[in-house]
Structure 1
């Protein structure tokens, strides 16, 4: 299956997004650069939310990014994931940010291939707060291959 077909088979919904205040995904040369996409889940990891709930929140962010990429490019086919930045709303003692952001990385691996075009560089960071109280925020950079 192609990445687009795989994403659809995973239940990711692709809907048109009306332009807003900021561009959710912009093309620059042969790259697509996403804005940060926040999770629907709210709260702080390590103080009310578990690592597993954070993992699901990061996966939610990645699905939203895929929709924004689809809006900018028309398909997920012919893309490679280059870089992922994951921000985790964390209690000061929480140290599993990397396990939370695996939720986003794992979805990109499923769609684009773990050793192929989904193999990416990544940072996973803890923050004292995120916009609108979101549990997780993720942004990504994609290379347009074709």
Structure 2
């Protein structure tokens, strides 16, 4: 009888490298707060924005100045910033044991209804980096405005190794 050996899946850091996904520098606060707080085995991230070096990469509302595709890219970039913040806080993305919750806030105009397609920019990046076993629940909300006129803000709660 042949013994089946399960090979562990590639870690998040290895997946990032294999996929050629570059992370921006870790974000720095725009006000009186910190980017991450660790309590026990949970890491809570502040709202992450689609900025690089404190410079907005997308400005406007979905359904007005920005398309769904631009919103998707903004959500993906905000999530890359979140990954950079996680790496900065923990030293490695491989210390993440579970994505617990994803919140995506989208500045919208009028009767915009494509919120899930925009939020998939965040969800699909997390899926690529952490794999399907760590896919989280999520909340997606349309809002009137976000800081700096940005279209998307991403919030994460993660379970991490002690």
Mark yes or no: TM-score above 0.5. Answer: yes
Structure 2 length-normalised TM: 0.82
Q: Which whole-Å CA distance do the structure 2 matches of 1:127 and 1:83 have between them?
A: 19
Cα offset for 1:15? 3.9
- For structure 1, the 5+ residue unaligned runs are none
User: Deviation digits for residues 42-78 of structure 1, max 9, x if unmatched?
Assistant: 1110002111110000000000000001111110003
Match of 2:125 among 107, 114, 123: 107
RMSD of Structure 2 on Structure 1 (CA): 1.8
Match of 1:125 among 130, 135, 141: 141
Match in the other structure for 1:82 = 100
Q: 1:25-64 to 2 correspondence within 5 Å?
A: 25-39=36-50, 40-64=57-81
Structure 1 outlier segments of 4+, above 3 Å: 14-21
Cα offset for 1:4? 1.2
Structure 1 length-normalised TM: 0.91
Match in the other structure for 1:5 = 14
Would you say how many aligned residue pairs link Structure 1 and Structure 2? 144
Does the CA-based 8 Å contact 2:23-2:83 persist in structure 1?
no
- For structure 2, the 5+ residue unaligned runs are 1-9, 51-56
Instruction: Report the structure number with the largest CA radius of gyration.
Output: 2
Match in the other structure for 1:65 = 82
